[in-house]
Amino acid sequence: MNSSSEKKNNLEQIVSLAKRRGFIFQSSELYGGINGFWDYGPLGSELKRNVREVWWRYIVHGREDIVGLDAAIIMNPKIWEASGHLGGFSDPMVDCKICKKRYRADQLCEEQGSQLIGDGKRWKMPENVSCSNCGSKDLTEPRSFNLMFKTFVGPVEDDSAVAYLRPETAQAIFAQFLNILPTSRKSVPFGVAQSGKSFRNEINPRNFTFRSREFEQMEIEFFIRPDEAVELICGKVTTLADNPDLEGEPQDDWGWEVWHRYWVEQRFAWFRTIGLPADSLVERVHSKNELAHYAKTCVDIEYAFPFGIQELEGIAARGNFDLTQHQKFSSRSMAVMDDKLRIAVSEMNDAAKEAFRQKTVANWVQDGKSEEEATAFCNLLFEGRYIPHVVEPSLGTDRLVLALICNAFDEEEITDAKGKKEVRTVLRFHPSVAPVKVAVFPLVKNRPELYDKARDVFKKLNRYWNCFWDESGAIGRRYRRQDEIGTPFCITVDFDTLEDDTVTVRMRDSMEQTRVPVSDLRDFLEEAMEL
C-alpha cells in the first residue's frame, strides 16, 4: 500500500501531523497537559468512530453468534475481587537504593533462588536477596502497584464507598452472563462483544497514545463447550492436528484449540479488511511463563510501530476461569444447559458414563487437579450442563487507530509538469476508516451556476457519507489538503458539468481522474469504497 520510499515514520512526525490536522491532541494542553491522556480532534474522532463501527458491524451484525453489550464503567467492586484485579495482579516492585535500579520483587527473588514473602497484599523481601546490578542489599520494601483508578460512590468517602474504574471491559461480560444468556436467545457456542473505555493507572505511560491511562478496548468473550462436552456430543474432539478447515463455518466437534486458532485467523483477516497489510502484522505466541496461570494459550497480533513491534490485540484461551470465579464470589451457578449434550448423555448407558468418568478423572489428576473436582464436573456434564470455556480476542482501539495512522502515513515524491520535484503527504487510509470519504469542490468559486451545482452535489452525497466542502484556493491545493487527511475521493464540478451533468472523480492514491454522471455518483462511490 505504501510507496517504495522506505517507511521511517519517526513518531514525532506522526505526532506533529496528528496535531496539525486535528487527529490527536494532548489532553488538557491548555494547562500544560496531563500524562497518559489524549484527546481525539475533529478528524481523529471520525477515524476512531469508524474503527469502532466497522468492528461492530463485522463482529456483532456480521455474525449470528455474537451479541453486543454496553456496560457501566463503574461496577460493584466485588467484580474486581472475583477477577483477581484487586489482589494478585499488582506486581510487587523493589528499587535498589544505591544504584536506583528497579525490579519485579518476585522475579528478583526467584533469580537468586529464594521466595518473596507475602500474602498477596503485603510483601517482604527475604534477607539474602541483593541487587543483581550493584550487589547492594539496600533495597526498598516491596511495593504493590495496583493499577486500578479508585474513586468513591456517593457522598461519603469511606471504605464502604470505594469503587474502581474498570481496568478492562471484559469482566462486565462475565458479570452479565446470566442476563445475556436468556435474553439473547443464544446458546453455546456464542459470544458477547463490548467496546468502551477502560482505565489503568500505568506506572509509565509511553509512546504517544500507545500506553495511555484512559483508553478504549474492543473485546469479545466467545463462549465454547469444554472439550469433554464436545467429546460426549460428537464422539471426538477435533484438534489442530486434524487440520480443520478454519475458513468455513465453525463446527460442533471443534475443541478449544481449534476455536482459539479460528479466532486468531478471523482477527488477522479483519485487520486486512481495514487496510493493515498482512506483512505489517506479526503473530506472537506467549511463552509458558508469560501466561497467567489459568490461561491455556495466548497469541498476540502485533504491529510494527515506529517505536517497535507492539501488541494490537491479544487472543487468549482462558478456560472457564472467569465464570468459575464469578460463580464462587456470587454464589450463582454459571453452568449452562446444553440440549445437544443432554440428548447425547441420555443415550449413554451407565457403563459408558463410568468409563468416561474414569478417563476424565485420570486426565484431570494428571493436570494437577483433584479427583473431587473432576467427579463434580462429570456429574454436571451428565446432567447436560457445564460452565462454558472462553476465547477472548481483546483489541486496543486507540492502538489500532495509531497503527492505522502510522500505516497510512506516506510522503511521496512527485514531479510536476515543469519537472519540479515536491513531496506529497498522503494518508492512505482504507475508505472504510477514512475520516472524510468524499470532498466536493466547485472548480472556481466565483461562478454562481457552478457553485450552486457543486452545492447540490455536496448535499446529495452528504446524506450517505461524511463529506467535506472546500471552495478556497486553487484546485490542486484543495486536492493536496484532502490527501493529507486521507480523503479517498475528491469530486470537482466544472463547466462541463453544466453541459452534460458529469463530474470529475479524483482518486487519492493514484491521483487519476474519471468523469462520472451525477446520477451514477452514489453507486460509483459505493463500489469504489469497497475496494
The binding site for RNA (CB under 7 A) comprises 11-12, 15-16, 19-20, 26, 32-36, 85, 89, 91, 93, 95, 100, 102-104, 107, 147-148, 167, 200-208, 211, 292, 306-308, 416-417, 422-425, 443-446, 472-477, 479-481, 483-484, 492-495, 503-504, 506, 511-513
Q: How far is CA 247 from CA 12, 436, 438, 513, in A?
A: 40, 33, 34, 37
The smaller minimum CB distance to RNA, of residues 94 and 378, is found at: 94
Pair type for strands 438-442 and 489-493: parallel
The smaller minimum CB distance to RNA, of residues 33 and 126, is found at: 33
Question: What residues have CB less than 8 Å from 265, skipping those under 6 apart?
Answer: 246, 247
What is the rounded distance in angstroms from the CA atom of residue 60 to the CA atom of residue 50? 15
- Residue 59, sorted as left (phi over 0), alpha (psi -120 to 50) or beta, turns out to be alpha
The smaller minimum CB distance to RNA, of residues 366 and 472, is found at: 472
| DSSP letter (8 states) at residue 90 | S
Shortest spacing between CB 239 and RNA, in angstroms: 25
The smaller minimum CB distance to RNA, of residues 383 and 484, is found at: 484
With b meaning 16 or more CB within 10 Å and e meaning fewer, what string describes 318-351? Answer: bbbbbbebbbeeeeeebbbebebbbebbeeeeee
Q: How far is CA 389 from CA 336, 383, 422, 511, in A?
A: 11, 17, 57, 51
The smaller minimum CB distance to RNA, of residues 36 and 275, is found at: 36
Helix locations, 308-424, DSSP H: 321-330, 339-346, 350-366, 371-382, 397-408
The smaller minimum CB distance to RNA, of residues 34 and 529, is found at: 34
Helix (H, G, I), strand (E, B) or coil at 429: coil
What does the block give as the cell for 19?
Answer: 496535531
The smaller minimum CB distance to RNA, of residues 284 and 353, is found at: 284
Shortest spacing between CB 287 and RNA, in angstroms: 12
Shortest spacing between CB 89 and RNA, in angstroms: 4
The smaller minimum CB distance to RNA, of residues 30 and 72, is found at: 30
| DSSP letter (8 states) at residue 53 | H
What is the rounded distance in angstroms from the CA atom of residue 453 to the CA atom of residue 476? 20
Contact 70, 196 (CB under 8 A): yes
Judged on CB neighbours under 10 Å (0-12, 13-18, 19+), 376 is exposed
Shortest spacing between CB 209 and RNA, in angstroms: 8
Shortest spacing between CB 483 and RNA, in angstroms: 7
Shortest spacing between CB 199 and RNA, in angstroms: 9
| DSSP letter (8 states) at residue 204 | S
CB atoms within 10 A of CB 171: 25
What does the block give as the cell for 87?
Answer: 489482589
Shortest spacing between CB 474 and RNA, in angstroms: 4
Shortest spacing between CB 151 and RNA, in angstroms: 15
Shortest spacing between CB 5 and RNA, in angstroms: 15
What is the rounded distance in angstroms from the CA atom of residue 471 to the CA atom of residue 491? 12
Shortest spacing between CB 517 and RNA, in angstroms: 14
Shortest spacing between CB 47 and RNA, in angstroms: 18
The smaller minimum CB distance to RNA, of residues 127 and 416, is found at: 416
Contact 14, 24 (CB under 8 A): no
Shortest spacing between CB 9 and RNA, in angstroms: 11
Q: How far is CA 304 from CA 76, 215, 373, 409, 430, in A?
A: 38, 20, 44, 13, 18
The smaller minimum CB distance to RNA, of residues 275 and 306, is found at: 306
The smaller minimum CB distance to RNA, of residues 413 and 526, is found at: 413
The smaller minimum CB distance to RNA, of residues 136 and 358, is found at: 136
Contacts 24+ apart (CB under 8 A), 128-135: 131/96, 131/98, 131/99, 131/101, 131/103, 132/103, 132/108, 133/96, 133/99, 133/101, 134/96, 134/98, 134/99, 134/101
The smaller minimum CB distance to RNA, of residues 202 and 253, is found at: 202
Contact 401, 44 (CB under 8 A): yes
CB atoms within 10 A of CB 414: 12
Contact 7, 411 (CB under 8 A): no
Shortest spacing between CB 20 and RNA, in angstroms: 4
